[in-house]
């Protein structure tokens, strides 16, 4: 006997959690991101890569509602968000970890986590179960933590809000590569265990590709590459061409494989 899933159950499991449709972003009349489209399923990690100044932070800030979109819609679980309303976006489960981490540096680790909890069910002890290194530092002021610990706290604090969509802007900012290597698998784990969609802006390209499902490369406000991350990880020349703005070579060279040592 063949047991088939009911049609509506299939539709639910297949429907994307996070959809961006024709999003344009910028400042006043200046357009920075010309168009951003995304459909992301629960538990997926999307790496948004690209050279300095290509518009990555502008994009994340806009998706979080902190900067009103110039055009387009952002939808969570089928419901469009109100443009430029970060509080509503946060209540709908969209949480941004900004590149400056925005911690309360004069408050302890404990206090930072409690302040983020709001009415959510997640407890501070659950946060410490996930990040045991922070548990040992719970009475220390956030400002006195190491850079890696601060980043861990920024992510732990975001998770207190039980995100459906977690936007992480340059987790590696100011951190030694060895610390970034330790932190990056945490991103994969969060997506797998919580089912959140994670959109990760990152300069450590290869490390980001190791944990991402899909990678998008933003150059001068345009997505010039959009591929499975494991595929792009093997295409270093394509990636380099895209970063240099040579979109034609990037697209033409998509079959090239990276050296085995990569
Ligand atoms: N507040 C602002 N007002 C006007 N223009 C801005 C503002 N912030 C950023 N820009 C401009 O928007 C463009 C994209 O900047 P953005 O910070 O989004 O790029 P990025 O890809 O995140 O760069 P990086 O990797 O260096 O952080 C740049 O030309 C920048 O000068």
ipTM: 0.96
Other CB atoms within a 10 A radius of the CB of residue 8 amount to 8
What does the alpha-carbon distance between residue 155 and residue 200 come to, in Å, rounded to a whole number?
12
Give pLDDT, residue 260.
Answer: 38
CA distance 257 to 262: 10
Best substitution site from 28, 30, 32 to test ligand 1's pocket, by max atoms within 8 Å of Cβ? 32
93 pLDDT band (50/70/90 cuts)?
Answer: very high
Tokens of 211: 């944990």
pLDDT for the residue numbered 106: 94
**Angstrom distance (rounded) from CA 255 to CA 250:** 10
160 has pLDDT over 90: yes
pTM of the model: 0.89
Nearest to 198 by CA among 207, 210, 211: 211
Q: Taking the alpha carbons of 144, 194, 170, 94 in that order, is the dihedral positive or negative? A: negative
Cα 110 from chain centroid (whole Å)? 24
Instruction: Encode pLDDT of 42-57 as tens digits.
Output: 999 999 999 999 999 9
What is the pLDDT at residue 246?
75
Residues in contact with ligand 1 (CB, 6 Å cut-off): 27, 32, 50, 52-58
Residue 140 Cα to ligand 1 middle (Å): 33
What is the CB neighbour count within 10 angstroms for residue 93? 18
Pick from 209, 211, 210, 205: nearest CA to 243? 205
């Amino acid at each position: 006997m063949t047991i088939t899933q009911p049609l509506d159950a299939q539709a639910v499991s297949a429907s994307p959690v996070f959809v961006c449709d024709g999003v344009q972003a910028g400042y006043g009349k200046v357009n920075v991101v010309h168009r951003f489209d995304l459909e992301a399923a629960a538990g997926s990690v999307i790496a948004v890569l690209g050279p300095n100044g290509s518009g990555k932070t502008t994009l994340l800030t806009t998706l979080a509602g902190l900067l009103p979109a110039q055009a387009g819609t952002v939808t969570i679980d089928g419901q469009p968000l109100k443009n430029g309303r970060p509080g509503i976006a946060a209540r709908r489960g969209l949480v941004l970890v900004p590149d400056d981490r925005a911690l309360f540096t004069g408050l302890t680790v404990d206090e930072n986590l409690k302040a983020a909890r709001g009415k959510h069910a997640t407890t501070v002890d659950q946060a410490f179960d996930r990040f045991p290194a922070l548990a040992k530092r719970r009475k220390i002021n956030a400002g006195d933590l190491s850079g890696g610990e601060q980043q861990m706290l920024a992510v732990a604090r975001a998770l207190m809000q039980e995100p459906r969509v977690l936007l992480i802007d340059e987790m590696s900012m100011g951190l030694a590569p060895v610390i970034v290597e330790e932190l990056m698998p945490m991103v994969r784990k969060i997506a797998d265990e919580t089912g959140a969609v994670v959109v990760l802006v990152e300069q450590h390209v290869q490390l980001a590709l190791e944990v991402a499902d899909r990678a998008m490369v933003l150059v001068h406000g345009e997505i010039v590459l959009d591929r499975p991350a494991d595929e792009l990880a093997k295409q270093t020349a394509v990636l380099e061409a895209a970063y240099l703005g040579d979109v034609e070579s990037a697209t033409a060279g998509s079959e090239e494989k990276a050296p085995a040592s990569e």
